[in-house]
Amino acid sequence: MGILNKLEDAEVLDRVVEPTQKVARRLPPGPVRDTLYGTWLGHPVHPMLVQASVGAWLSAGVLDLRRGSDDAARRLAAFGLLVAAPAVLAGTADWSEQHEQQMRVGVVHALANGTAIGLYGASLLARTPARRRALRYAGLGVASVGALLGGRLSFRQAGGVNHAESVPYLVEPGWHDLGTFDDLPDGRPVRRMLDEVPLLVLRRGRAADVLSDRCSHLSGPLSDGEVSDGCITCPWHGSVFRLFDGSVVHGPATAPQPLFETEVRDGILRVRLPGAG
């Protein structure tokens, strides 16, 4: 859609994005942010939490088609508001660590959802069933716009998806030569190419750790990151992965990095995907 393409490139939104991002990042990296990201789940938790609010509000809209269902619709609207709080927090955490075009769409997505929350809140205070019903339907309409933008973020702009998912499908089974082992700097991460797949290689004495180099969060170059305590930190958004198994230590990444088995034969570092024969 043309209007959504223009939204991605609307630099005027940066006036809102930049100060809002600073506020969103005040929650320091650690267990709380990792919980909001969904590192414990293996994928972002925000889309899952959103379903509770949307389901409650959509159910209220169905009940509003029937006379005498105002009390039940009000309870559903209230429940949707209650469970919206953790969804907003998780979405804010995700949004604060995205690319600029994603953040522009995301800030309008948040505005739409915030307006929907306000309309549903107003419906609880309205005095007549007709006014409450009108406010709930208005909230559902605005929430639908928010859902459209959320879909754009997820499926068109790839916000929240695993950007390393394709690696196992791009690498042929079996062992592959990656270059002369002694040419690798000891203790410093470097990038090596396996056909079109970039790999992070860290030599440790006579052994090496090898992971996919594109961060699963947003494809940041891990080989440009810092190594500490057996982990690599992405230079783009600060995701931390263990080098020996690719697992996520800290978000915003939620998916692990593909890991490669290694061996040195005749002075050549060779790699393969685990179980690839």
Query: How far is the first Cα of the chain from the last one, in angstroms, to the nearest whole number?
Result: 45
> Which two tokens mark 74?
């009000």
> What are the DSSP calls for 26-85, one per residue?
TS-SSHHHHHHHTTTTTS-SHHHHHHHHHHHHHHHHHHTTSTT-HHHHHHHHHHHHHHHH
Weakly modelled stretches of the chain, pLDDT under 70:
1, 276-277
What letter does residue 223 receive in the DSSP assignment?
A: G
Confidence (pLDDT) at 64? 95
As a whole number of angstroms, the distance between CA 269 and CA 265 comes to 7
pLDDT in tens, 9-63: 999 999 999 999 999 999 888 999 999 999 999 999 999 999 999 999 999 999 9
Whole-structure pTM value: 0.90
Asked if residue 252 has a cis previous peptide bond (ω within 30° of 0), the answer is yes
The 3-state DSSP class for residue 217 equals coil
Confidence (pLDDT) at 276? 62
Confidence (pLDDT) at 29? 87
pLDDT in tens, 144-154: 999 999 999 99
Confidence (pLDDT) at 1? 64
Handedness of CA 206, 212, 218, 220 (dihedral sign): positive
What letter does residue 155 receive in the DSSP assignment?
A: I
